Amino acid sequence: MEIPAARDPVSAARDAFGDAVLHVKQFRGETTLVVEAARLPEVLDFLRVSSGLVYNMLSDISAVDYYPEDYGDEFDGADGDYRPGRFAVSYHILSMLYNRRLRVKAFAAEEDPRLPTATVVWPAANWLEREIADMMGITFDGHPDQRRLLMPDDWHGHPHRRDYPLGKETVAFSFNEAEIRKHKPFAQN
Amino acid sequence: MAVAAQAQSIEEQRKWEGSIDQLRGLVSERAMTGETMLLNMGPHHPSTHGVLRLLLELDGEEIVTCLPDIGFLHTGIEKSLEDKSYEKALPLTDRMDYLSPMSNNMSYSCAVEKLLDLDVPERGQIIRVICLELARCASHLVWLGTHAIDMGAMSVLLYAFRERERVLGMFEMLSGQRMMSSYIRPGGVWRDVPAEFLPTIKQFLDDFPAKVDDYEALLTQNPIWKDRAQGVGVVEPDVALAHGMTGPALRGSGVNWDLRKAQPYSGYETYDFNVPLGEHGDVYDRYLIRIQEFRESMKILNQAVARLETVKGPYRSENRKYVPPLRSELGQSMEAVIHHFKLWTYGYDAPDDEIYSAIESPRGEIGCYIHGTGANKPRRVHFKTPSFIHISALPVMSSGYLLADMVAIIGSVDIVLGDCDR
């Protein structure tokens, strides 16, 4: 079987989605494609199935929090990096056929951060997104399982946010009974 | 205690016990009516390889679906890394996948090197390859022993751990630590190999192939082993890819993908070795692949040890903006003292940008995503770990098989819960 020639993912995405591709960045040989959050699953599915691209595998999803000030309209550092929202979620996708990687990135707002889920494109996104929802507090609309993944069900806050204190957490096992009762009524007797 | 208060506390408890409604949509409708049984396996089950809880939905002995519950070993490593300079964060990465700490060190070091654009000298790369392949052997030995003991073959564990002790002894020789070695560091390795290392590893390379034959003699043609392993936990290649599986679990389904070949790092492209592939995607094929990987690792190790004897030179980058100077330089150069002081107190600045770098660990692809801040601490470090992905794929691997097969399936994907929960 003849393998179709590889296409440039940036121009292919620009042709197909136009203004939904908000920004393109190159750093250390890695290409980052910032896309409009609402059209994220569409873009990912396009990159997965189109001939000449075939990003068939989802390697990783990681979220980053630009709190307190490295984002927004006033931000002008880091060589003009584009950061419209506080939270960014990066989808690291891999094309085994053409042996190359691509990062697709979408931003979420500070108030009630939301993104559409990518589980419809890759089942692998299920737990990776659950982890981000748990640790970073970003809601993935349409995700089939919205329970917390790593932290206990009754945990308060989202530990990977930059405003979540490091080393100052509710002690789950302590003699601070008032605190325990507040969170864990079942532990009373 | 007043009766009313007690009654209230029972009410409170009920509220927290939760109801089956919470699981609606996650388990089948038959579980809602009680037609199928929900059964907990773990978190303290000997064959969950750590603390993993599985909520199994059973129709008789057949698994309908399973809901893995993780997080018991969550230690906040990614969060802790945000408050440490790049070099000082390294020992924390040892503690994720505690069966192959060298691979974690390597994935983190590769990511930092990519972020900083830092070079690694040739001798450093060769030592790294030796460490990584030894780590692969040590990790596969634990997998082999525990997988066999899960399936009822007791003696393999003792033989496997006997050889693993020798590998850990070599790690101690290199780094002073048997397990949490922190030996591979950004820019190369911590120190050069000691004089007694070469004879020891040569002796090991002479002995080990015969030991692998011994393991195979115990298991490969063993009818009970074949009965338990063949045709169990079958994963089709497209399913494996859709669920993001990597490493031996993916190659067991016949997908030829090994990052050492596809996207070589640390000079893997210059070594001659094969990537073993399976055909059926079952537990037995994944077993065969790891056994063959022992032999391929031996091939790589033999070549690397031969090179180590001829290639001399620095074992760590000499870029003094990022790599601390040697002790011997400190007495002679004021500049070295300044670098020493700066690097061990403040560290170094990394660009305010993001990179993703992946290596092939014994379990699959370990990816490391680092987003710098422009200062000496990262904004975010995220590890994509193979155990995490493979546990999330357990439901598709196990549905339709018997409860007793669950143990075989968990063993065959070789999960480490520290790796999963981080």
> pTM value?
0.89
**Among candidate residues B342, B350, B310, B309, the one with its CA nearest the CA of residue B324:** B342
Output the CA torsion sign for A4, B252, B277, B139.
positive
Cα Rg, chain A, nearest whole Å = 20
List the single residue in A with minimal CA-CA distance to B359: A59
Whether the link from the prior residue into B43 is cis, omega within 30° of 0, is yes
Output the CA torsion sign for B70, B73, B77, B80.
positive
* B299 min Cα distance to partner chain A (Å): 25
Give the pLDDT score at B1.
45
Tell me which of A170 and B386 has the higher pLDDT.
B386
- Region of B171 (left: φ > 0; alpha: ψ -120 to 50; beta: rest) is alpha
Residue A91, beta-bridge partner list = A61, A104
* 3-state SS, residue A86: coil
Q: Does A189 touch chain B (CB under 8 A)?
A: yes
Output the six-digit token pair for B391: 């546990």
- Residues lower than pLDDT 70 in chain A: 1, 73-80, 167-177, 179-181, 183-189
Q: Does A66 touch chain B (CB under 8 A)?
A: yes
Please give the average per-residue pLDDT across B348-363, as a whole number.
90
ipTM rounded to 2 decimals: 0.85
Q: Does A75 touch chain B (CB under 8 A)?
A: no
CB distance B353–A101 less than 8 Å?
no
Distance, CA of B188 to CA of B174 (rounded, Å): 13
Give the pLDDT score at B172.
92
* B172 min Cα distance to partner chain A (Å): 32
Cβ-Cβ contacts under 8 Å, A182 against chain B? none
* pLDDT 10s digits, B147-162: 998 888 888 999 999 9
Comparing CB atoms, the residue among B241, B351, B391 nearest residue A57 is: B241
Select the residue from A94, A146, A166 to test the B interface by mutation, using most B Cβ atoms within 10 A.
Answer: A94
Give the pLDDT score at B138.
93
CB distance B356–A101 less than 8 Å?
yes
Give the pLDDT score at B135.
93
Please give the average per-residue pLDDT across B17-35, as a whole number.
74
Please give the average per-residue pLDDT across B389-405, as a whole number.
90
List the single residue in A with minimal CA-CA distance to B375: A78
Q: Which range among A172-186, B50-64, B108-122 has the greatest average pLDDT?
A: B108-122
Cβ-Cβ contacts under 8 Å, A69 against chain B? none
* A70 min Cα distance to partner chain B (Å): 9
Q: Which residue has the tokens 């330089």?
A: B329
Please give the average per-residue pLDDT across B285-304, as a whole number.
92
Please give the average per-residue pLDDT across B406-419, as a whole number.
88
Show me where the domains of chain A are located: 9-149
| pLDDT above 70 coverage of chain B, percent | 95
The CATH code of domain A9-149 reads: 3.30.460.80
Q: Does A32 touch chain B (CB under 8 A)?
A: yes
Cβ-Cβ contacts under 8 Å, A27 against chain B? 351, 353-355
Output the CA torsion sign for B240, B246, B251, B255.
positive
* A124 min Cα distance to partner chain B (Å): 4
What is each CA distance from B216 to B144, B148, B177, B377, B405, in whole angstroms? 11, 12, 30, 48, 21
Ordered structural domains, chain B, with CATH: 77-421 (1.10.645.10)
CB B168 within 8 A of CB B141: no
Phi, psi of A61 (to 5 degrees): -125, 125
Comparing CB atoms, the residue among B351, B353, B367 nearest residue A92 is: B367
